[in-house]
């Protein structure tokens, strides 16, 4: 059934964005993507359109460009916005904090102002578990203390605070804040996947590039953490489960207005060595590794209590780590150089 109005996905040509576009098309939505293509790919959009079985309207632009946003809303009757556009590398944020605040915070503010001017008051915001910082207790629920330890996490928390103040002042806004844990995986078709430009910051794309022969070995950042095998533990979430979470959030937004905040994670933690073993089993490839010093800013362990997302959105993660690794390998083996 065709829903009325366009769903605008900022950053929709990126890794999470393209998978989310597939899920939106499958749910019968009309999809409009606004993306600067700094990290995204029009090839990913073309493939997402084919997989989702529908057209995706695309406008290239930057969320910091208010005039471009005003023109976008003037041209398309938008019913809701999924705001995924942003920069998200922790290490890079430490080196370039002003860039992170400009893109993530000023960019979000510019989008909110353009939405308000256009009378669009429904938003799903891509936040992150990094707003919690080092957890006091595990699993992490939405009432856990907020204390980001890097500019990336602080930029996400600043936007969350903007949204909380906005919804308090203008209760007709309908807002969902989604705190992603560790998105990994790829569409099971092998057509869509993560294609980081340059050296991957994150574990899973690095492991898959070692397995496909693009890199000689994995450096494991620390094996002296207080975890079962000494390596860092995270809550890895299949990107298709994450995409489904966005569709579920859109449906669950209270018609009368209001703000909801949920963790999107599996509720299970896996160590770096767990991921390497699962990937070797899924790919049949050996992943050579060496132990290296801890990475500054890393925490030992982090995984979600996802029960609130199940209560409020009727959403839960379906895929386990083996499925995540199988899907990443199918994507990487079929696209050894990504979309290029
Ligand atoms: C996972 C584990 C590393 C690379 C990041 C950011 C943010 C967020 C999720 C969106 C850690 C270890 C990694 C490597 C390694 N995304 N590691 N060798 O840091 O938990 O979170 O991704 O919000 O981008 O917060 O993810 O994949 O970088 O690290 O040993 O080459 O793998 O130490 O224990 P992280 P990650």
Helix, strand, coil shares, percent, the chain, to 5: 40, 20, 40
E strands present in the chain: 6-10, 30-35, 56-60, 78-83, 122-128, 174-180, 182-184, 218-221, 233-234, 236-238, 258-264, 270-271, 289-292
Backbone angles phi, psi at 186, to 5 degrees: -160, 160
Q: Please give the radius of gyration of the chain, using alpha carbons only, rounded to the nearest integer.
A: 19
8 A C-beta contact, residue 144 and residue 196: no
In a domain, 222, yes or no: no
Residue-level pLDDT at 340: 87
pLDDT number for residue 256: 83
Q: How many domains does the chain have?
A: 1
Answer yes or no: is 11 within a domain. Answer: yes
In a domain, 221, yes or no: no
- Rounded to an integer, what distance in angstroms lies between the CA atom of residue 75 and that of residue 61? 14
The CATH number of the domain where 115 resides is what? 3.40.50.720
Asked whether residue 191 is assigned to any structural domain, the reply reads no
Give the pLDDT score at 146: 97
Assigned domain for 133 exists? yes
**Minimum-distance ligand 1 atom for the alpha carbon of 231:** 34
pLDDT at 133: 85
Residue 197: its pLDDT value, please? 85
- Give the distance (Å) from ligand 1 centre to CA of residue 172: 37
Which residue out of 182, 266, 289 has the highest number of ligand 1 atoms within 8 Å of its CB and is therefore the one to mutate? 182
What residues make up the domain containing 151? 6-185+236-266+305-318
d(Cα 330, Cα 333) in Å, to the nearest integer?
5
Measured between alpha carbons, how far is 51 from 108 in angstroms, rounded to an integer? 29
**Would strands 270-271 and 233-234 be described as parallel, antiparallel, or unpaired?**
antiparallel
**Residue-level pLDDT at 237:** 98
CA quadruple 133, 20, 111, 119: dihedral sign: negative
Q: Confirm whether 199 is domain-assigned.
A: no
pLDDT tens for the chain, 340 residues long, are 445 799 999 999 999 999 999 999 999 999 999 999 999 999 999 999 999 999 999 999 999 999 999 999 999 999 999 999 999 988 889 999 999 999 999 999 999 999 999 999 999 999 999 999 889 999 999 999 999 989 999 999 999 999 999 999 999 999 999 999 999 999 999 999 999 888 999 999 999 999 999 999 999 999 999 999 999 999 999 999 999 999 999 999 988 889 999 999 999 999 999 999 999 999 999 999 999 999 987 889 999 999 999 999 999 999 999 999 999 999 999 999 999 8
Identify which of 237, 223, 246, 247 has the alpha carbon closest to the alpha carbon of residue 304: 237
Name residue 81's beta-bridge partners.
8, 123
Q: What is the end-to-end Cα distance of the chain in Å, rounded?
A: 35
* Contact by Cβ (8 Å): 155, 93: yes
CA distance 69 to 213: 42
Residues in contact with ligand 1 by the CB-under-6-Å rule are 88, 90, 128, 130, 180, 182, 201-203, 206, 218-221, 232, 234, 272, 295, 298
Is position 332 within any domain?
no
Of 324, 317, 151, 296, the residue nearest 232 (C-alpha): 296
CA distance 196 to 190: 16
Q: What is the pLDDT of residue 333?
A: 96
- Amino acid 1: pLDDT: 41
CA of 203 to the centre of ligand 1 (A): 6
Indicate which residue of 152, 180, 225, 236 is catalytic.
152
Q: Does residue 76 have an active-site annotation?
A: no
């Amino acid at each position: 059934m065709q829903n009325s109005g366009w769903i605008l996905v900022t950053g929709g040509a990126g890794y999470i964005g393209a998978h989310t576009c597939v899920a939106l098309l499958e749910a019968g939505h009309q999809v409009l993507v606004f993306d600067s293509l700094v990290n995204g790919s029009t090839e990913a959009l073309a493939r997402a359109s084919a997989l989702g079985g529908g057209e995706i309207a695309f406008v290239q632009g930057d969320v910091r460009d208010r005039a471009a946003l005003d023109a976008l809303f003037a041209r398309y009757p938008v019913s809701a916005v999924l705001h995924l556009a942003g920069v998200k590398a922790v290490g890079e944020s430490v080196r370039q904090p002003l860039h992170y605040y400009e893109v993530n915070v000023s960019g979000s503010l510019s989008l909110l102002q353009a939405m308000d001017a256009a009378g669009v008051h429904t938003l799903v915001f891509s936040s992150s578990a990094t707003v919690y910082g080092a957890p006091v207790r595990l699993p992490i629920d939405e009432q856990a203390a907020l204390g980001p330890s890097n500019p990336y996490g602080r930029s996400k928390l600043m936007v969350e605070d903007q949204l909380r103040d906005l919804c308090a002042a203008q209760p007709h806004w309908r807002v969902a804040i989604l705190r992603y844990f560790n998105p990994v995986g790829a569409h099971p078709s092998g057509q869509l996947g993560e294609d980081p430009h340059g050296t991957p910051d994150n574990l899973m794309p690095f492991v898959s590039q070692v397995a496909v022969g693009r890199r000689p070995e994995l450096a494991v950042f620390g094996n002296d953490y207080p975890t079962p095998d000494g390596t860092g533990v995270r809550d890895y979430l299949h990107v298709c489960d994450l995409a489904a979470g966005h569709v579920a959030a859109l449906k669950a937004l209270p018609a009368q207005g209001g703000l909801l905040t949920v963790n999107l994670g599996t509720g299970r933690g896996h160590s770096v060595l767990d991921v390497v073993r699962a990937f070797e089993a899924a790919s049949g490839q050996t992943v050579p590794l060496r132990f290296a010093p801890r990475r500054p800013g890393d925490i030992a362990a982090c995984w979600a209590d996802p029960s609130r997302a199940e209560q409020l959105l009727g959403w839960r993660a379906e895929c386990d780590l083996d499925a995540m690794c199988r899907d990443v390998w199918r994507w990487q083996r079929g696209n050894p150089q990504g979309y290029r």
